[in-house]
Amino acid sequence: MASQHGSIGKNWPSAGALLALAVLALIALPALVALGWSSPGMGSTSASLLWRAASFTLLQAVLSTLISVVLGVLLARALSRRQFFGRGFLLRLFALPQGLPALVAVLALVSLYGRAGFISRFWPELPSIYGLNGILLAHVFFNLPYAALLTLIALQQVPREQWRLAQMLGMSERAIFRVIEWPVLQNALPGIAGLIFMLCVTSFTIVLTLGGGPAATTLELAIYQALRFDYDPRLALALAMGQIGLCVLLLSFLAKFRPPFAETARLSLGPERASLSKSGNPVPDMIMIVLSALFILLPILSVILSGLTADFSRLLTERILWRAIATSGGIAFTAALIAVLIAYPLALAAIRLESKGAVKQARIFEAPVELTLLLPPVLLGAGWFLILMPSASSVGYAPVLIVLINAIMALPFVYRSLAGSLRRLVAHEDPLCESLGISGWSRFSLIDWPILKPAFRAAFTFAFLLSFGDFGVIAFFGSDSIVTLPFLIYQRLGSYRTDDAAGIALVLAVFSILMTQAFSAFGRKEHAHD
């Protein structure tokens, strides 16, 4: 009986993963088929636009990734070497940009670095924020702290025994980097750089608002323009294939740097780095930390100051604002839940197969998650837009499609949030559970869930915030009956009601931060009770 139960436990992740694969296929394939059916070929105009958009997409993504990763590594090493008052608050501050919707951040950066912005008062010759300059600025604002936090997490996986041994041997900073830090970073950085690159390649809202004309148009934005304004599915598909090809080349390159699955020893892990640098010069580290903090904090303060100029006594009485809040929250909660339910069985199946040496079979479950990075939300939205456009009831399907597409777009980040904890779980707990015959729901509730709770909470929070501030999908399906907070901001900007847009942006930012803090507080409360 026990063996039969164990057999069910072994097969369950694959069954769940197959179901998740089926859900992904049902959402993505019809959209791609609809675009392909409407696209007989590509003319010379399409080829010219494809080349121009692809060149700019690659340029801004490479530059954004390079700047973000290099500065992120420097910031992470500075934070790992120094302990100071307010360090915990600073780390939470660096997490805020990921919870800040792109449209809100763009408004903040324009009010800070634009021609009439605060910094322009002291630096009149400040370069224009529109075009490549503004796109790089916005991408680094989002991705620098993200790269720093992911790098810091990687450095904290170094066993304490190695830091203590380095201290006993009196190793220099250069030797510590070469012997201890670099082996960890060379495994982590390709994944971090690849994720940031994909975020920059598929960036939509930032390029839409800061692009500055045809010379600064990415493939993502060109796809949207081809369908929304020109109604040219043929051109949209050609651009989409170009973007997918670009991303496939990068993923193939990054796959060469994929670290092998390893069952790590049970060493005590934790941040012991700071004790090695007490005798070193703290000034360069603190300069890096302070400048990074100002770079992140000033736009956030700008959001607050600009938003306070709005007439909240009128805004808060508008029913459409509260309807937009409810719509955004409902879409984000449902999309985050679906993303976690899809990513978990896929990650579990892939990691278990990988741990047993079945790398090719593991890729069957992992590759679809990576492929979702190749499918722009604009592309999926466009495909379903073409499918539902002839239907009179298309508006009724729109909320469901917005939820599902947002869930798919959050999958890579949810998968990555769960993968680290699942690797340790599979390496440390699977052998013992198999020997004791513990499987199925009993194992999940008693062993897996207590270990995976922090990872599930982080994954859900990130997916929620990503969907809460999304504008890419709602740009296609938004209407008077389906209004989210980002769509409402865009409407007010389009009608030149900038004060209202700033006020709604502040509401969106406050709700995003409150949601982040609520999830974090819930996690700390659970941890205290454990």
Lowest mean pLDDT among 50-54, 456-460, 517-521: 517-521
Q: Over 90: is that where the pLDDT of 93 sits? A: no
Lowest mean pLDDT among 66-70, 151-155, 314-318, 323-327: 151-155
pLDDT value for 17:
79
Q: Over 80: is that where the pLDDT of 144 sits? A: yes
Confidence of residue 66 (pLDDT cuts 50, 70, 90): very high
pLDDT value for 368:
80
Q: Is 364 in contact with 13 (CB distance < 8 Å)?
A: no
Fold of 50-257+269-307: MetI-like fold (1.10.3720)
Give the pLDDT mean for 389-395: 55
pLDDT value for 46:
62
- pLDDT tens digit string along 281-322? 678 888 999 999 999 999 888 888 888 888 888 988 999 999
Q: Over 50: is that where the pLDDT of 377 sits? A: yes
In the DSSP assignment, the letter for residue 126 is: P
The DSSP bridge partners found for residue 159 are 269
Lowest mean pLDDT among 139-143, 165-169, 332-336: 165-169
Phi, psi of 269 (to 5 degrees): -105, 145
Q: Over 70: is that where the pLDDT of 7 sits? A: no
Question: Residue length, the chain?
Answer: 530
Q: Is 212 in contact with 131 (CB distance < 8 Å)?
A: yes
Q: Over 70: is that where the pLDDT of 127 sits? A: yes
H helices present in 256-392, as ranges: 283-307, 312-315, 319-355, 359-374, 377-388
CA atoms within 13 A on the CB side of 513: 15
Q: Is 463 in contact with 335 (CB distance < 8 Å)?
A: yes
CB neighbour burial string for 338-367, b if at least 16 within 10 angstroms, e if fewer = bbbebbbbbbbbbbbbbbeeeeeebebbbe
